[in-house]
């Protein structure tokens, strides 16, 4: 049976390229999504511009992030196609705990695919301070029949009715994000904690539950996002000590996942991520999620 529209399986390169940083301007240098064996490769260019935001400080009055991204496809037959733009201003204000709350009102436009979609809702960013208000967070992974459990105190990034609009083209559905990721202040690790992507694929509602996270090694994040990993198989529970999240952010060969590295320094964010048994919608949903969260909040 052929896969549903937009559900083709992706193996190999998923997200590659870089975003350069100059002050508060983030420039996308044809950041690529999908791989050359696919029907098309989407190249993302343009800028994000932050104003009134500084790490460790409350946002200034009228702080925001202004988006101006363009999407173009390199087609397998050698042609190109415009997939429109993703533009708008995202307001930023302090919440009651001094964290930054981003309120999204982005518009995705692609006239060729008759897309005029909105991204809306709020995400609340960790402050990343040693004095941060943390909570107990546990993540789990099955390995060789055993359940590995990693429990730490971390600062949550929460998603309140966050909707990422359809696009860049008609194959990529609107996705609703719920749950949270959590930031472990001392190790700089990010833990997936009850994160769910909900969307519609060919008339059917789909809910992808994510697990894994991003483990910081001093210069880059070791990344593993697993889709719908079955955590019910392990009977013996083994505790993983704080600072060893890297032992959990790996994907078995049969898993549906996106793995690799995201390197971050003062002047660049570089993506080198590969998909394994993931479908096109999952890859694009994760790409848009990372762009909406990791890039503008990088300090």
Q: In the prediction, which pLDDT does 3 show?
A: 40
Task: Considering only residues 166 and 235, tell me which one the structure prediction assigns the higher pLDDT.
Answer: 166
CA atoms within 13 A on the CB side of 96: 0
> Over 50: is that where the pLDDT of 2 sits?
no
Asked if 271 and 3 count as a contact pair (C-beta separation under 8 A), the reply is no
Does the structure show a pLDDT above 70 at 6?
Answer: no
- β-pairing, 236-240 vs 146-164, is parallel
Spatial contact of 84 and 108, defined as CB atoms under 8 Å apart = yes
Q: Three-state DSSP class for 246?
A: helix
* Model confidence at 140: pLDDT above 50: yes
pLDDT of residue 5: 40
What is the mean predicted confidence (pLDDT) over 184-199? 90
Distance CA 269, CA 263 (A): 6
Say yes or no to pLDDT of 28 above 90: yes
Please give the pLDDT value at position 88. 85
Which pLDDT belongs to residue 122?
A: 78
Between residues 155 and 208, the one the model is more confident about: 208
Average pLDDT, the chain: 84
- Regarding pTM above 0.75, the answer is yes
Give the percent of the chain with pLDDT over 70: 90
The CA-CA-CA angle for residues 215, 168, 250, to 5°, reads 20
Of 126 and 155, more confident: 155
Q: How confident is the model at residue 56 (pLDDT cuts 50, 70, 90)?
A: low
Model confidence at 247: pLDDT above 90: no
- pLDDT level of residue 19 (50, 70, 90 thresholds): very high
Which has more pLDDT, 25 or 236? 25
pLDDT given for residue 227 in this prediction: 94
- pLDDT score of 4: 43
Condensed to tens digits (0 to 9), the pLDDT of residues 224-233 reads 999 998 766 6
∠ CA 21-154-181, nearest 5°, is 60
Q: CB–CB of 269/21 below 8 Å? A: yes
Pair 153, 193: CB distance under 8 Å:
no
Residue 298 has pLDDT above 70, yes or no: no
More confident residue, 168 or 124: 168
- Mean pLDDT for 10-20 is 93
């Amino acid at each position: 049976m052929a896969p549903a529209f937009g559900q083709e399986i992706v193996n190999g390169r998923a997200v590659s390229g870089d975003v350069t940083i100059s002050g508060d301007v983030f420039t996308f240098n044809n950041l690529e999504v999908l791989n050359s064996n696919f029907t098309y490769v989407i190249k993302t260019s343009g800028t994000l511009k932050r104003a009134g935001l500084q790490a460790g400080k409350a946002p200034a009055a009228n702080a925001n992030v202004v988006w101006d991204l363009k999407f173009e496809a390199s087609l397998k037959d050698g042609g190109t196609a415009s997939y429109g733009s993703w533009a708008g201003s995202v307001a930023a204000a302090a919440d009651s705990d001094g964290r930054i709350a981003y309120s999204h009102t982005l518009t995705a436009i692609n006239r060729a695919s008759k897309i005029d979609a909105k991204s809306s809702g709020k995400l609340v960013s960790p402050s990343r301070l040693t004095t941060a208000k943390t909570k107990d967070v546990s993540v789990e992974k099955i390995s060789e029949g055993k359940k590995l459990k990693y429990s730490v105190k971390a600062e949550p990034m929460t998603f309140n009715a966050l909707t990422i609009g359809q696009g860049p083209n008609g194959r990529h559905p609107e996705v609703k994000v719920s749950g949270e990721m959590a930031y472990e202040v001392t190790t700089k690790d990010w833990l997936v904690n009850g994160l769910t992507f909900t969307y519609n694929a060919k008339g059917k509602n789909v809910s992808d539950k994510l697990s894994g996270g991003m483990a910081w090694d001093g210069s880059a994040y070791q990344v593993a996002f697993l889709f719908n990993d079955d955590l019910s198989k392990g009977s013996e529970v083994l505790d993983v000590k704080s600072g060893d999240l890297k032992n959990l952010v790996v994907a078995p060969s049969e898993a549906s996942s996106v793995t690799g590295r995201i390197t971050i320094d003062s002047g660049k964010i570089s993506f080198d991520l590969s998909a394994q048994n993931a479908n096109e919608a999952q890859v694009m949903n994760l790409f848009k999620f990372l762009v909406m969260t990791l890039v503008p909040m990088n300090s």
